Structure 1
Amino acid sequence: MPFRSSSSYYQPTPRDGRQSAARPTGGWPAVGLIVAFMVVGVVSLDLATPQDFRARALLGLVPIVVGMLAPVVATATITGLLLATYIGLTAWQPTPSGGIAVLGPLMIGTGGLLGVLISRRREEQHNRLRIVTDIAEATQRAVMRVLPERIENVHIADFYQPAARSARVGGDWYDFQPSPHGLRAVLGDVSGKGLAAVSASSALLAAFREAAYHEAPLPEVARRLEIAMQRYNAWTRMTQDSDRTDAFSTALLLHFPTDPAAEYVDIVDFGHEPPLVISPDGLVHTPDLSAGLPLGMGPLGVDAPAATRLALRPGDTLVLFTDGVTECRDADGVFYPVRERMARLVTADTAQAPPGELLRLLAEDLHAHRHGPPADDAAITVIRRTQTPTKAFVGTEDAALYEGPRDVPAQAQYATDMRPLEWASRSISSTKATA
């Protein structure tokens, strides 16, 4: 179960690290061993059989196997070497009829032709798959962007494992959005699975990124998320894009104030699992939140959930998670007791460890508990409040991009000047993880 040192445990495979169509499946050593094994086997069988029965024509099977693994050029080259091997064997131990028998070269040539065709077809399919993968990864990264390890006085670590094998995104969604009004964060879980859930989470993320930046009151951000969920459902009904009932999403919406001396966080709970709070001395507790209905259930006429102000002092840690964590089952079908297990995992020492270390402990324990492949998307974010904030979005690498007045506070610069806005809003969300 590999883990990475970045805030996001999942990182898309770089293009340079992918399997290349010019490199054989399993690598050149594997192809060499297979070819050597087959050639030695055929030659040994040929030498062991009577003179009136020669097995050397079976060398024609080798290019077919090589074509399934190696590129076209390698397949053709090995075919030529096999022909030379056959001629050498015939010269050493001629057939009873004398000369070079036609059957052997014919079988090797036919096998080589089939191997080249197989190899070419395999390379074409590999190239098409790589193009589709590139498009899918670009789309997925647009939905769930990369999280920074730190935003102002908040440290972040995240984990994401979609239920669908090889997927990057699913029905779980989360994001962090800096704004002139403070840092906003969200974590949610859309009902259902598959492309419909991805589409709904994408709509909610887009709404959050805009509302969290522009709207000052947190209840207004919550209202915009509810409207986005209703608009998505109305669109799918109108276009008949989904054959299931209206989607809904549980979520936690958080607001960290701009004042570094403010030791609290405001949370709006849309029927989601409440977070865990870890104090610097290692105590783990569950806060009492005012929970409301999930997003998308506003037409029921129930008032929107009220924000709960939760004390969050420097050194305190929030752990947010989706039901893919709590509903993870072991071999006996027992759900993962995240609150009880977290209390055992966290000590006075580990409570002060970086958020990534806490996340690693929880993710490894979750992986050990799970039996079989994941049945649902699972997402976890660990948020640590620190004492000293960093300058908002003004780093050494980007200082040259900003030419505005130096005496303006960083938050005001971000809010009013479009030049820093272009780079300040880069890559502030998440890519996700595998266990």
Structure 2
Amino acid sequence: MASRPSPRSSPPGSDQVPAPHGSGLLRRLPWLDRALLVILGRPRRRLGWLLPLVLLLVVCFADWNTSGDFRVLSWLVVVPVMAAALCPVGTTALFAVAAVAAYAVIDQAWDHQYRAGLPDFILVSMGGLLAIAAAWLRRRGERRSLSVRNVADTTRATVIRPLPPSWGGLLHAHIYLPADAEARLGGDFYDIQPSPWGTRALLGDVQGKGLGAVAVAANLLGTFREAGFHQPDLRVVGERMEVRMERNRLYEQAMGYKDGDRFATAVLLDFPPPGSAGGYVDVINFGHDPPFAVSARGVRLLDACSGRLPLGLNELAPASERAAAPHRIRLEGDETLLLTTDGVTEARDRAGAFFPLAEALEAAVAEDPQLAESPYRLVRAVRDRMLRHVYGRLQDDTTIFAVRMAPPAPGEVQPLVSLARWTEISSTATALPGRQGSAEPPG
């Protein structure tokens, strides 16, 4: 049986790209982050006891080797305090006991006139007790924080489903960087949906943050997955998503939510079925940053498909421009489409300059012409250059998504899943009792 891939070593073409832990300096220096994880913090606290132990030995050695006029033994109170910040409760208690014992032994070894005496002994003892209580409170807070973090991760994994490599005949990779490393939730969303008429891909960004934005993203993804499979016309898929956004707005206004007028930008892609001649992609852009086509020959911006208003604002457009008409773009077999949310293009450095995504892509391709062959390497290159530009400080949630047609295997002429099989799946899924005349439920 093949072993499951480690999340730290995802293969090229896979869905998840590991991101650096932490924020700020740690995102720019992954080696420092790994060192701190080993020495100080979760998930490995194996060496967290070293610093309190070194401090204990240094204080004892210094007090033993100085004169009676300069006593530092009372500094032992810092030992359990440091342990409380780095170690579990049991280890903190051991250091508290060790500090009290070391104080008693070393202080008694001095002549009577040089002893620190009972007041400092009480200080070290009370410091140890308070350190134990602090360690217990810290561990309880960490457990609560971990529980909240697991809930956030589960919520996001439920909305943004994992995708298998080469799903629907596409190679893809993504990376998501939340502006708030603790919240880990935002309105960025993406998905790939194979269908009998081609493979559809989606990247979008809901206005706002928090659970409200996640709920809107979940609604849009659900509509995309159903309409993207059942509808042969990409125009209808876009219109269904527009209707879903309007229904969500009416619901939030009826509930009295403050953010009842949310909108979402999105890019909707339609690739030809696996095994077909290909050479193109149909694009509908709902007010989102246009995608880039990246290859060894260079980078080109697909800005011809821009111009529509975001989802939820279609009523503001003239009646003649409300139809979600797709634009067909020529796409070479060696080109990879790169899509990003505005967290990339609006990322600023300390001087306020925006991240030059186009220039960064051209520089990356110039350094490594084969970069576009792997979506995995492409999104990592964009991530690293963007984080260097902003010195690891993100102002907005950021998603980088790369997708390309999978090269056919030698001698392969049939699609990965035949059209007949898709038709069979579609007819079986929709032929429900009492609904034989409807391909999908109304509304």
| TM-score scaled by length of structure 1 | 0.78
Rounded Cα–Cα distance in structure 1 between residues aligned with 2:253 and 2:390: 37
Rounded Cα–Cα distance in structure 2 between residues aligned with 1:340 and 1:60: 55
Q: Secondary structure at the match of 2:277?
A: coil
Q: What residue in structure 1 maps to residue 387 of structure 2?
A: 367
CA contact (8 A) 2:96 2:125 kept: yes
Q: What residue in structure 2 maps to residue 377 of structure 1?
A: 397
Rounded Cα–Cα distance in structure 2 between residues aligned with 1:187 and 1:22: 35
1:354 paired with 2:374, answer yes
Rounded Cα–Cα distance in structure 2 between residues aligned with 1:261 and 1:185: 17
Q: What residue in structure 1 maps to residue 155 of structure 2?
A: 139
Rounded Cα–Cα distance in structure 1 between residues aligned with 2:382 and 2:392: 18
CA contact (8 A) 2:387 2:393 kept: no
- Structure number with greater CO (CA < 8 Å, separation at least 6) is 1
1:199 paired with 2:242, answer no
Rounded Cα–Cα distance in structure 1 between residues aligned with 2:105 and 2:143: 38
* TM superposition shift of 1:19: 4.8
CA contact (8 A) 1:269 1:289 kept: yes
Q: What residue in structure 1 maps to residue 235 of structure 2?
A: 219
Q: Secondary structure at the match of 1:178?
A: strand
CA contact (8 A) 2:292 2:299 kept: no
1:411 paired with 2:430, answer no
CA contact (8 A) 1:271 1:293 kept: yes
Rounded Cα–Cα distance in structure 2 between residues aligned with 1:340 and 1:408: 41
Question: CA 1:219/1:70 → structure 2, altered by over 3 Å: closer, same or farther?
Answer: same
Rounded Cα–Cα distance in structure 2 between residues aligned with 1:37 and 1:213: 68
Rounded Cα–Cα distance in structure 2 between residues aligned with 1:169 and 1:146: 16
Residue 217 of structure 1 aligns with an amino acid whose one-letter code is D
Rounded Cα–Cα distance in structure 2 between residues aligned with 1:163 and 1:354: 26
Residue 247 of structure 2 aligns with an amino acid whose one-letter code is R
Q: What residue in structure 2 maps to residue 422 of structure 1?
A: none
| 5+ residue gaps, structure 1 | 395-406, 419-435
Q: What residue in structure 2 maps to residue 121 of structure 1?
A: 137
Q: CA RMSD in A?
A: 3.6
1:253 paired with 2:261, answer no
Spell out, residue by residue over 1:181-230, the C-alpha distance to the aligned partner (whole angstroms, 9 max, x if none): 32111111222344443332232222222222233321221111111211
Rounded Cα–Cα distance in structure 2 between residues aligned with 1:279 and 1:156: 15
CA contact (8 A) 1:43 1:55 kept: no
Aligned partner (choices 320, 329, 335) of residue 348 of structure 2: 329
CA contact (8 A) 1:268 1:291 kept: no
CA contact (8 A) 1:250 1:270 kept: yes
* TM superposition shift of 1:296: 0.4
Q: What residue in structure 2 maps to residue 176 of structure 1?
A: 192
Residue 252 of structure 1 aligns with an amino acid whose one-letter code is V
CA contact (8 A) 1:255 1:265 kept: yes
Question: CA 1:3/1:233 → structure 2, altered by over 3 Å: closer, same or farther?
Answer: farther
Question: CA 1:85/1:344 → structure 2, altered by over 3 Å: closer, same or farther?
Answer: closer
Spell out, residue by residue over 1:391-413, the C-alpha distance to the aligned partner (whole angstroms, 9 max, x if none): 9889xxxxxxxxxxxx9965356
The number of aligned residues is 396
Residue 350 of structure 1 aligns with an amino acid whose one-letter code is Q
CA contact (8 A) 1:35 1:66 kept: no
Identity %: 32
Spell out, residue by residue over 1:373-420, the C-alpha distance to the aligned partner (whole angstroms, 9 max, x if none): 2223332221122331799889xxxxxxxxxxxx996535654678xx
Q: What residue in structure 2 maps to residue 66 of structure 1?
A: 83
Aligned partner (choices 88, 91, 94) of residue 77 of structure 1: 94
Q: What residue in structure 1 maps to residue 177 of structure 2?
A: 161
* TM superposition shift of 1:173: 1.8
Aligned partner (choices 257, 260, 271) of residue 241 of structure 1: 257
* TM superposition shift of 1:275: 1.6
* TM superposition shift of 1:283: 5.3
Q: Secondary structure at the match of 2:304?
A: coil
Question: CA 1:97/1:368 → structure 2, altered by over 3 Å: closer, same or farther?
Answer: closer
